[in-house]
Amino acid sequence: MDAPCSREVLQACLRDLARVNRWFLAYRPVLEWLDGVSRHAPNGPLRILDVGCGYGDGLRCIERWARKRGVGVELSGLDLNPETIAIASEASPPESAIQWVAANVFDHEMLRPAHLIISSLFTHHLPDEDVVRFVRWMEGNAQLGWLVNDLSRAPVPYYLFRWFSRVAGLHPFVQHDGPVSFRRAFVPDDWKRLCTNAGLSRDDFEILGYKPARLCVRRRKH
């Protein structure tokens, strides 16, 4: 899916990935973190940026979470592919206030720093040096903290996903890319090394595993 493809294929893949996220509780780490952070947030809306937002299903989930709890938010989704951003916008309901931006994260300049930055299923696409660069970028642009929500590299989920994706009839690209993503994913020692290389001390961040097959890194600044 990182290679060029038609809009129809891209849309079908993004929809199937959103289905997988919903079935396998992929939003839980983000919402759990937001429940804690939002209790100590400053007055006014929380500015939240989702880097590599894809189909935008994660941000729409946050928007529903915020509405139910009466939490004011300003949500932005950033993705490198303009077609992906257009698809995410089209998939959002008319009343949604999410802002969609097509840009390279390392070239993106925000008018105001975000309070919180999140990314889901993004970092395993990057070489190690860009993961370090991304952690530094989040440190410089997130006032309250950031969360990386990605896969955990392990043999059991790798083989289970290969089986499940075929049984569920997911798009062939998703069937192919899912196992590749598990092979590219990190383990806790990788994140310790990468965050240390980005200039963080071990006390600055947490590494948490979530079933099934999620590994998250989160940072609270205040």
**At residue 94, does pLDDT exceed 90?**
yes
pLDDT tens-digit profile of 99-127?
999 999 999 988 888 999 999 999 999 99
For the chain, how many helices (H) and strands (E)? 8, 7
Domain ranges of the chain: 7-152+186-220
| The predicted structure's pLDDT at residue 42 | 75
31 compared with 44, residue with greater pLDDT: 31
87, 10 in Cβ contact below 8 A? Answer: yes
| The predicted structure's pLDDT at residue 44 | 84
pLDDT tens-digit profile of 160-219?
999 999 999 999 999 999 999 999 999 999 999 999 999 999 999 999 999 989 999 999
pLDDT tens-digit profile of 2-15?
556 788 999 999 99
Q: Which CATH architecture has domain 7-152+186-220?
A: 3-Layer(aba) Sandwich (3.40)
pLDDT tens-digit profile of 133-177?
999 999 999 999 999 999 999 988 899 999 999 999 999 999 999
| The predicted structure's pLDDT at residue 153 | 94
Query: In whole angstroms, what is the distance from residue 181 CA to residue 33 CA?
Result: 24
Strand ranges (E), the chain = 46-51, 73-79, 99-102, 114-120, 142-151, 206-210, 214-220
Smallest CA-to-CA distance from 221 within 137, 117, 142 is with 142
**Mean pLDDT computed over every residue of the chain:** 94
| The predicted structure's pLDDT at residue 2 | 55
DSSP state, residue 205: -
Query: In whole angstroms, what is the distance from residue 84 CA to residue 100 CA?
Result: 10
pLDDT tens-digit profile of 38-58?
887 778 899 999 999 999 999
Calculate mean pLDDT across residues 81-90. Answer: 97
